Amino acid sequence: MLERRVVITGLGLVTPLGIGVEETWSALLEGRSGIGEITRFDTTEFTTKIAGQVNGFDAEDFLPKKDAKRTERFIAFAVAGARMALESARLTINEKNGPRVGVITGCGLGGLEMLETTAHTVREKGPKRCSPFFIPRLIGNMAPGMISIHLGAKGPNISVATACAAGAHAVGDACNTIKRGQADAMITGGVESVITPTCIAGFNAMKALSTRNDDPEKASRPFDRDRDGFVVGEGAGILVLEELQHARERGATILAEMAGYGQSGDGYHMTSPSPDGDGMIRCMQAAIDDAGIANDAIDYINAHGTSTPLNDLYETRAIKKVLGDSAGKVPVSSTKSMTGHLLGGAGGIETVFTVLALKNGIIPPTVNLENPDEECDLDYVPNKARKANLAYAMSNSFGFGGTNASLIIKRYEP
């Protein structure tokens, strides 16, 4: 029996660069940054005062008014992205096909803002003042849950919580769900919205964030010698995956094909990757092996590229080990230089970006790469988008605790 092929037919984006695929992709290719001063809370006493906020988002554009008022921001992002992706795919979910359409999304921290405000309310005013919506607005699985409720997808419904690898793990797991025959189509990706006092304070305490507050747009600078930490972003990247024949029979426009999925664990440190890149190496190699291609077939890598001193160096070492002599010829870019790091949502938006790069034959740049790091010596597509003929592209996502995911996407060939 031939393995079921899985293709991508729909895309949806909510990012610091814009709401919708067209707006975000246009900004990305122009090298514009979505990072600015935090306006969600008073940052006077905070070391970091900048983030990649989503501006102009109105939950009522995607949810009924009553639901919009009681839905946490990250959940609303997920539903918005899913609606866009389904519209893009021209896929209608009904009573007949609903049980064969599932949802898997990744989220790192869930409703952190709800947790903060409710903890304060209970402490100051007592337990009877706790909202009955506290738990439903807090838990990460309410993102796929609300997508299912509002869009009618009644197949497998799962939330992945693997920190910064969650979105990529969700996409890979969704692909495998279709391959196993458990669904014909999956709504999948990643989402996050945690630009909150405790999130910023927590990452500041770890010295993980950039403190380039005087020049926000230049703060995220992956692979640059002067990088000083990542910038928190928010948003969602959602895709519709389908079994190939299912997509063909309904006349869907196929954007790209899922080719490979790799996973690994570092088993090394709570927050730092292994200096020799061991976990990253095994993860990328597993994805290549799953795709059934040679290592030198990779034409582009959307790197994890967080703009932290250790990640960028270790990821560079890992890529060089995996690609060998071809490493210097393969374009590598970090779109986090413009969006910031969406944590559990990163793998979602970056998978969408990788699909768009393949489909349009153009690689988004790594902006703010002004002072090359001698140890980060690959082709990072500095500061300007580049046209390219791409057949296979890889997207990397690596998370705290040493949890890793790599996806390989290929240009669709009938």
Q: Residues 36-52: pLDDT tens digits?
A: 999 999 999 999 999 99
- pLDDT given for residue 414 in this prediction: 84
CATH at residue 174? 3.40.47.10
Indicate the range of 83-92, 254-263, 267-276, 386-395 predicted with least confidence: 267-276
> Residue 328 above 80 pLDDT?
yes
As a whole-number percent, the residues of the chain with pLDDT over 70 amount to 100
Q: According to the model, what pLDDT value does residue 335 have? A: 98
Confidence tier at 2 by pLDDT (50, 70, 90): low
**Taking residues 283-310, what's their average pLDDT?**
98
Please report the pLDDT score of residue 25 as a whole number.
98
Residue 199 confidence class, pLDDT cut points 50, 70, 90:
very high
**pLDDT tens-digit series, residues 58-101:** 999 999 999 999 999 999 999 999 999 999 999 999 999 999 99
164 carries an active-site annotation: yes
Where residue 26 falls among pLDDT bands split at 50, 70, 90? Answer: very high
pLDDT at 313 over 80: yes
Domain count for the chain: 1
pLDDT at site 287: 98
Query: Mean of the per-residue pLDDT values for the chain?
Result: 97
Q: Is a pLDDT exceeding 90 seen at residue 352?
A: yes
> HEC states along the chain?
CCCCCEEEEEEEEEECCEECHHHHHHHHHHCCCCCEECCCCCCCCCCCCEEECCCCCCHHHCCCHHHHHCCCHHHHHHHHHHHHHHHHHCCCCCCCCHHHEEEEEECCCCCHHHHHHHHHHHHHHCHHHCCCCHHHHHCCCHHHHHHHHHHCCCCCEEEECCHHHHHHHHHHHHHHHHHCCCCCEEEEEEEECCCCHHHHHHHHHCCCECCCCCCHHHCCCCCECCCCCECEECEEEEEEEEEHHHHHHCCCCCCEEEEEEEEEECCCCCCCCCCCCHHHHHHHHHHHHHHCCCHHHCCEEECCCCCCHHHHHHHHHHHHHHHHHHHHHCCEECCHHHHCECHHHHHHHHHHHHHHHHHHCEECCECCCCCECCCCCCCCCECCCEECCCCEEEEEEEECCCEEEEEEEECCCC
pLDDT at 342 over 80: yes
* The pLDDT value given to residue 1: 52
Report whether pLDDT(312) > 70.
yes
Tell whether the model's pLDDT for residue 348 goes beyond 60. Answer: yes
Please give the pLDDT value at position 381: 98
pLDDT at 404 over 60: yes
pLDDT of residue 330: 98
Residue-number span of the structural domain to which 242 is assigned: 1-414
pLDDT in tens, 201-242: 999 999 999 999 999 999 999 999 999 999 999 999 999 999
Mean pLDDT of 345-364: 98
pLDDT at res. 250: 97
Report the pLDDT averaged over residues 307-313: 97
Catalytic residue among 107, 130, 164, 199: 164
Instruction: For residue range 153-191, list pLDDT tens digits in order.
Output: 999 999 999 999 999 999 999 999 999 999 999 999 999
Is pTM beyond 0.95 here? Answer: yes
Report the pLDDT value the prediction gives residue 3, as an integer from 0 to 100: 79
